A and B are shown apart, each in its own frame.
Chain A
Amino acid sequence: MRNEVEAKLLVNKPLPEDIKKKLYESLRDGEELLFAISAELLMDGSYGNSTFGVTRSRIISVDPTFPSGVLTLDISRIKNAKVKRMYSNAVLCVETDEGVIETNRFTYSVTELFDAAANYINNVNSGMDPEEQLELIRERFTKRKLTCPKCGRRLSRRNPVCLKCADKKRFATRVFGYVKPYIPVLIFSLVLSSATTAATLIPPYLTKELVDNVIKNGDIAGLRKIVLLLLGIYAFQAGIGAVRNFTLRITGEKIVTNLRNEVYAKAQTLPLKYYDKTSTGSVMSRINGDTQNLQNFIIRISQDVIIQVFTMIGIMAIMFAMNWKLSILSLLPVPIVVYGSRVFSKHIRPFYRRLWKRRSRISSILADTLPGIRVVKAFTSEDRAVQHFEKCGEDLLNENIRAAKITSAFPAVVSFLVMCGGLVIWGLGGYWVINSPDRLTVGVLVSFISYTHMFYGPIQFFAGLSDTFQNALTSAERIFEILDAEPETDLGKGYKPESIKGRIEFRNVSFSYESGKKVLDNVSFVIEPGQSLGIVGATGSGKSTIVNLLMRFYDNYEGEILIDGIDIKDIDLKYYRSQIGYVLQEPMLFNDTIYRNIAYSKPDASVEEVIEAAVVANAHNFIKRLPDAYDTFLGERGVGLSGGEKQRISIARAVLKDPAILILDEATASVDSETENLIQQAIERMIQGRTSIMIAHRLSTLKKADKIIVVDDGKIIESGTHEELMSLEGKYYRFVQIQSLSDGMFTVRSVDKDEYSEIY
């Protein structure tokens, strides 16, 4: 009877016997256990077997840390049940008239089941149909059991394709798909390879003829013939080999180009969520490095494996035809070499994984800092960026040195073993040649030795084949492009004023990014210390260029830009940028903790200062609610900060820097209205007492600016306060009108939507 009940019981995993016993012993006569959750965590936080069971009238919790080992409670007594999530664990809290009772503690692995159980209890108590509620529980348990029959991976819904297994099945076909267009070329290359391989088998045989017949008999004509023949064979090998290598290289490059293009095209279509979890550096490393590895593998599989098999068979046939006893002797080291290769391969694998990880880390730094080079420069962090890069480079170097030790030692050992095999043949073969020349001639012995050495080539090839999967090739070509580029010359070399008050003057500034159209044309304006300037203009009008020049990202402009009356080109660049806070439209956050992202602008800031900056930026409230709070690692699984949250972190970074001049480049452009308000509050707090330049497409955010300039086609066409510009009824006025209209349309649409839902 109990077995039948047990078979019907909904449970996430088989319950241990002792737990099961306690659970069933706690049941009253006729009471049926509906479902049970095995929790794997005890109330004291240690791992162990605990269970939460539900009957129609009671909950039963089994946990060895309870005084009696069991806790039971009538469901009707429960006023509310809820799961309290903590860090890596949670508890089920049930509220009764006597207070809150914690019935079970569990890891995140079963939180969803406890959520469902809490819902069941609350819903049943509120009068909902228990059978319907039990059906929901059943669905939850069933959903949990949806796993791929092959790999055990949890599936999201019924009968979906398990991506991992499907990929595996299709792997060979997919790889073949890339090779398919090049099959004729590869066959041609294979024919050439076979020809050169066959040619390599001939010289040892000719050596035998040379030693045994030609030299021994003083046959000069025969000598000439064999030497010419050998010359011909070597020339043939070299010529055909060159053509083969060329063909293979071109084919390989074509395959890798197609593959890289496809991976890149796929990377464009991946959702942003994917990039929250995966660093762009890692994606870059895949597009570059991994496609290259696959190319190598394809070439080795399609060419070298076949060639090496042929070579091995050919050599063995010749050797056994010459002398089977010596052949067997020469094969003696083979098992040791094969076994050693397998051991080597197993040991080298972790090295390659570690190397991959370190290379990936370097790619991540590149992907972070190079696209974010403006931030690096704006916060004068070039030295730190270089130091960080050097540290990771050193890690990679050390790992490479460790790997090099093992990869250098192994071939030496193999080579030594092969030599030993050769010595055995020399010893025994030499003995036979001396004592019974009719059994073995000198020529046969010499050519045999040559074949033995050749034989170990394919053996070593197969031994190292798995190595090819992991050993990535790097290209130095692009690195030299970077190394040869001109650096910024005046970092740390100019004038350093004692302080910067923040008076900014653009005096007849003109600029073009490349020879051609001027992006800024004779721009002049003044901002007094502590004033705020709003810049308005259509896309491409030159707004951001003003900021780019002020930040000294470009120096080749005409006219002058002055800070406190000093030409900015005369001020030390590093010092100058350290006086400016810069908040971009797309916040550039690094693959690091929130704390370090904020402290990036002031690495020696105290923790209090960092927290205070986050408070000013309206970021503290959401940061403190994250499980890892300030230690939250950005760019990881589960940490998907919204655009507004990222922006507030970047504002906190600027606040912490406490700059004399502040630049906000469309800081609220890509956020919703509510977030915009939060950011706007933060901005208003931040700009107090500082000279600030704000570019904003939402004109309402610029109303409070001391001065607004309207830029059109690289020229300032209007200038004044909001009120002055509105009374002018010019371009600014029209911008405001258009924006009010579009905001109005949005409101109307919202109303329509509400009306729609009321009607239907």
Chain B
Amino acid sequence: MNTRKYIDPADMRIELKTGISLRITLRDGQVYDDVEPRRMFPISNADMFILIVDKEDNELFIIKDLKQLDKESYKNISTALDRYYLIPKIREIKRIEEKFGSLKWWVKTDRGDYEFDIQHRHSDIKLLSSGRVLIRDANDNRYEIPNYRKLPRKSQYLISGDL
């Protein structure tokens, strides 16, 4: 028996208020206002098991699969989630410099060009079996390479030593 409250995505309509704040109306008329979504699996399954919390971060219920939502609701909650979770996707690595064990990366991402430092090259760059690479910078910001094998050749060469 589940003690968590799972609500069927087909039974709700989700509207985006401001920022990451949502209004969720259930089929029975119940309204959850000013609520926010959180991913239970932000890395492995971003669209599944979305926790809905109130302003004080109290858990309200779980939406098991966002893809079961209607198109508009899906778009709204996805916008809020994309805003909450900032994981720029690296499209190109322009340069990597190493200084005393720390790395400085110059990258092109889906959110523009950026540069950041990596403190621990062995633990902060994680290669998953699918070719996906998860990166964490010295300030705890996250980045992702969806598939390093699809990066430009020079980028692949630059990152190859750390995978």
Contacts and interface: CB of A to CB of B under 8 A. Distances in A.
B42 A631 contact: yes
Nearest to A623: B40
Interface string B128-151: 000000001101111000000000
A698 interface: no
Q: How large is the interface on A (under 10, 10 to 19, 20 to 34, 35 or more residues)?
A: 35 or more
Interface in A105-136: 107-109
Contacts of B62: 611
A628 B100 contact: no
B79 to A, nearest CB: 10
A638 B20 contact: no
B15 to A, nearest CB: 17
Contacts, number: 130
Contacts of A48: 112
Contacts of A612: 1-4
A47 B90 CA distance: 12
Contacts of B20: 86
Interface stretch (B22-30, B70-78, B117-125): B117-125
Given A153-B100, A278-B123, A350-B161, A628 B43 contact: yes
Contact of B82 (A41, A45, A152, A349): A45
Contacts of B69: none
Nearest to A609: B2
Contacts of B1: 612
B142 to A, nearest CB: 5
B11 interface: no
Contacts of B102: 153
Interface in B90-122: 99-102, 109, 111-114, 116, 119-120, 122
A480 interface: no
Given A107-B139, A595-B41, A47 B86 contact: no
A637 interface: yes
B115 to A, nearest CB: 10
B124 A637 contact: yes
A759 to B, nearest CB: 38
Nearest to A48: B112
B7 interface: no
A165 interface: yes
A631 B162 contact: no
B38 interface: yes
Interface in A615-658: 615-616, 620-621, 624-625, 627-631, 633, 636-638
Interface stretch (A71-79, A310-318, A353-361, A581-589): A353-361
A354 B42 contact: no
What are the nearest 10 A-B pairs in CB distance?
Answer: A350-B161, A47-B112, A89-B86, A88-B86, A87-B85, A631-B43, A353-B161, A109-B139, A46-B111, A164-B100
23 contacts: A47-B109, A47-B113, A86-B84, A87-B86, A88-B85, A89-B86, A102-B18, A107-B141, A109-B141, A152-B99, A277-B123, A349-B161, A350-B161, A354-B161, A357-B162, A360-B122, A607-B48, A608-B6, A611-B62, A624-B59, A629-B51, A631-B41, A631-B44
Given A87-B87, A611-B4, A630-B49, 4 more contacts: A88-B142, A168-B100, A595-B41, A638-B140
